[in-house]
Structure 1
C-alpha cells in the first residue's frame, strides 16, 4: 500500500465498550476489524484505517472534538440503520448548503454525522 504525503489515513477513537462499537460499525457501515488484545481493535473502512482503544472518553463536536462525516446515498435508510444498531440520533436531519445531514452517537458515545446530497 502506498501513502500520499500529508494525507489522512488513520484515526483513533476512545471506546468504553470496544465490542459494542465494533458490532455497530460492522452492522451499519460494513467495517472490518482486527483485535490487538482486549484494549485495542483496528478497523479498515472504505478508504480509511483506524482503531478503537479502551477508555472512558468520547469525542463530541460541541466540546471541540473532530466530527467524522459519512456519505450516504439514502439518508433516511442510514438513519434507521444507525438506530437499529444501537446508535442515538443527537441531531435530527437538517438541511445545509449542498445537502442534508444528521448527527449520531455510536455505542461508546463518539459523535459522528452522515450527509447526503440527495
Structure 2
C-alpha cells in the first residue's frame, strides 16, 4: 500500500458511489492499474490512484449534468487510455478535445459515473 502524508487543509480522500463493486474494481484495475483493499462487501479502498479513496455501494451515480464535481485522471497516453476505457466497458461521453493546458476526454464508468482523462 502506498504511504501518504496527511496535510492540514488538503483534500486527502474521495468516496465514490458505485452500483456494483466487482465490475467497478475490474474496470479501474484494467484501465488504470488501481489496486483495492476490501472492507466487507459494500466498501473497497482504491490505492495507486494518486489520492486515497474508496468505492461505496449506492444507488446513485454522478455526472457534470447533475452538478457533480469532475474527477480528472492524468494519463501520458491519452488515445491508448481512451481505447482501454471502451475495451473495459466504459462509455466515452465526450471524445478527445483540446483545452488550455492539454487535451482530454470524458467517460462514464460501468456505474454511469462521469470522469475525465487528460494529458499535455
Unaligned segments of structure 1, at least 5 residues: none
Listed as ranges, the matches of 1:34-73 within 5 Å are: 34-73=37-76
State the partner residue of 2:18.
Answer: 15
Q: Runs of 4 or more off by more than 6 Å in structure 1? A: none
Structure with the bigger percentage of strand = 1
- 2:52 aligns to what SS in structure 1? strand
1:29 lines up with 2:5 in the alignment = no
Alpha-carbon distance in structure 1 between the residues aligned to 2:49 and 2:7: 16
- 2:25 aligns to what SS in structure 1? helix
Alpha-carbon distance in structure 1 between the residues aligned to 2:14 and 2:107: 18
Q: CA deviation at 1:47?
A: 2.6
Alpha-carbon distance in structure 2 between the residues aligned to 1:89 and 1:45: 23
Alpha-carbon distance in structure 2 between the residues aligned to 1:73 and 1:13: 24
Q: How many residues align?
A: 117
Alpha-carbon distance in structure 2 between the residues aligned to 1:66 and 1:53: 17
- TM-score between both structures, scaled by the size of structure 2: 0.92
CA RMSD of aligned residues (A): 1.1
1:2 lines up with 2:10 in the alignment = no
Unaligned segments of structure 2, at least 5 residues: none
Q: Deviations over 1:57-87 (max 9, x none)?
A: 1011121101110111111000001111111
